[in-house]
Amino acid sequence: MKPGIIWIIFAVPALPLILFADTVVDALAFKTNRQIMVAQQIRARGISDAKVLSAMEQVPRHVFVPEDIRSQAYADHPLPIGEGQTISQPYIVALMTESLGLTGQEKVLEIGTGSGYQAAILSEIVESVITVEIKRKLFERSSRLLAEHGHKNVSPHYGDGYYGWPKRAPYDCIMITAAVDHIPPPLTQQLKEGGRLILPLGNPFSYQHLVLITKKAGSYTVRQITGVLFVPMTGHAMTIKEE
């Protein structure tokens, strides 16, 4: 060193830089996987609503998946999220969302928050989402994730979704993300005239039909969309099943 010059040497820790680099690489990898998911699993199967495609590409599905299986977040199948529940296959999430025919102005009630992913997708499209979860641990986890990732138009609630959420009724659309063998009467009562309700209808312990119900002049039209396999709706729905 030259005489008369004071040299100050700072030690720069390497670990935070490595962690930051890994985070960036992971984020880019997840984004690429998300784009592939939309192209190969969703668009290729006929989903064409630009709002739905954009939401599926923007929402980071991996953050709603348990860390130990996060590498499978964009795979073409459902995944376990604990408490005996699952996060639905990406295509089914897109199909149910598109089938509601959303314009962007709706207030939507979701029954079965689960991981929070479906609510996050809806929040990117509609004005407001009210979502109800019966499993306490899932409710707490999904509420935290939705808040952390900026989904401010989602209102999570803890309770039995069979009864809907009458305080915020009526709803333009209702989505049930668990299988039930009948349409819960409280939900049809909370649906607006002209409103739509989508659900997996049928034997909760076997295959079901994804069904779209439209309320018209006090009666209902029913359209079958496709065969599906969802976990059973619990709470009061299960009590009725046992009776």
124-151: string of b/e by CB count within 10 Å (b at 16+)? bbbebbbbbbbbeebbebbbebbeebeb
Question: Rounded to an integer, what distance in angstroms lies between the CA atom of residue 222 and that of residue 136?
Answer: 33
The candidate with the shortest Cα–Cα distance to 122, out of 186, 59, 50, is: 59
Question: Rounded to an integer, what distance in angstroms lies between the CA atom of residue 51 and that of residue 30?
Answer: 20
Chain centre distance of CA 80: 14
Chain centre distance of CA 154: 11
Question: Rounded to an integer, what distance in angstroms lies between the CA atom of residue 170 and that of residue 229?
Answer: 28
Question: Rounded to an integer, what distance in angstroms lies between the CA atom of residue 22 and that of residue 28?
Answer: 10
Cα dihedral 74/71/89/104 (nearest 10): -50
Task: Identify the bridge partners of residue 222 per DSSP, sorted by sequence position.
Answer: 213
Both tokens assigned to 169: 């009724």
The verdict on whether 88 is a catalytic residue reads: yes
Kindly give the residue spans of alpha helices, DSSP state H, lying in the chain: 14-36, 50-58, 90-99, 117-123, 136-148, 185-189, 236-242
Cβ pair 34, 60 in contact under 8 A:
yes
Single out the catalytic residue among 48, 54, 88, 143. 88
Residues annotated as catalytic are 88
